[in-house]
Chains A and B, each alone.
Chain A
Amino acid sequence: MPNTTLILLIILLPLAGFVMLGIYGRKFFRNTSGVIATSLLLLSTALAFYTAYGYFFKYGKTGGVYQKLVPLKYTWLQFSPGLSIDMGIIIDPISVMMLVVVTFVSLMVHVFSLGYMKGDERFPTYYAFLGLFTFSMLGLVVSSNIFQIYFFWELVGVSSFLLIGYHYDKPSAVAACKKAFIVTRFADVGFLIGILVLSYSSGTLDFNTLIATLTSPQTNEYKNAIAASFLGISALTWGLVLVFIGAAGKSAMFPLHIWLPDAMEGPTPVSALIHAATMVVAGVFLVARLFPVFAIVVPSALNLVAYVGAFSALFAAVIACTQTDIKRVLAYSTMSQIGYMMFALGVSKYGGENGLGYTASMFHLFTHAMFKALLFLGAGAVIHFVHSNEMKDMGGLRKLMPITHLTFLIGCLAIAGVPPFAGFFSKEEILLAAYQHNQSIYWIALIISALTAFYMFRLYFQIFWNKEHHPHGEHHGEGGLSMMMPLVLLAIGAAVAGFIPFGHFVSSDGTRLDTGFHLQFSIAPVALCLAGIFIAMRLYKKQNAMPQKLAASLKGFYKAAYHKFYIDEVYHFITKKIIFNLIGRPAAWFDKYIVDGLVNATGNGTEDFSATIKKFQSGKVQSYAIYFLAGAIGLALLFIYIWK
Chain B
Amino acid sequence: MIQPGLYHILFISAALFFIGVYGFFTRRNLVTMLMSVELILNSVNLNFIAFNKYLWFDKMDGLFFSIFIIAIAAAEAAVAIAIIINLYRSHKSIDVEQAEELRY
Contact = CB atoms under 8 A, between A and B. Distances in A.
Interface of A: 617-622, 625-626, 629
Lowest 3 A-B CB distances belong to which pairs? A619-B100, A619-B103, A617-B103
B96 A626 contact: no
Contacts of A622: 24-25, 33, 96
Contact of B103 (A618, A626, A629): A618
Contacts of A626: 25
Interface string B60-104: 000000000000000000000000000000000000110111111
Nearest to A625: B24
A262 B99 CA distance: 73
A617 B101 CA distance: 11
Contacts of A620: 96-97, 100
Contacts of A618: 100, 103
Contacts, number: 23
Contacts of B103: 617-619
A339 B25 CA distance: 93
Most A C-beta atoms less than 10 A away, residue of B33, B96, B103: B103
Contacts of A625: 24-25
Interface in B21-44: 21, 24-25, 33
B21 A629 contact: yes
Contacts of B96: 620-622
A618 B96 CA distance: 12
A626 B100 CA distance: 16
Contact of B99 (A617, A621, A629): A621
21 contacts: A617-B103, A618-B100, A618-B103, A619-B99, A619-B100, A619-B101, A619-B102, A619-B103, A619-B104, A620-B96, A620-B97, A621-B33, A621-B96, A621-B99, A622-B24, A622-B33, A622-B96, A625-B24, A625-B25, A626-B25, A629-B21
Contacts of A621: 33, 96, 99
A600 B25 CA distance: 42
A161 B100 CA distance: 64
B44 to A, nearest CB: 13
B24 to A, nearest CB: 6
Nearest to B102: A619
Most B C-beta atoms less than 10 A away, residue of A619, A620, A626, A629: A619
Nearest to A626: B25
Given A618-B100, A619-B99, A622-B25, 17 more contacts: A617-B103, A618-B103, A619-B100, A619-B101, A619-B102, A619-B103, A619-B104, A620-B96, A620-B97, A621-B33, A621-B99, A622-B24, A622-B33, A622-B96, A625-B24, A625-B25, A626-B25
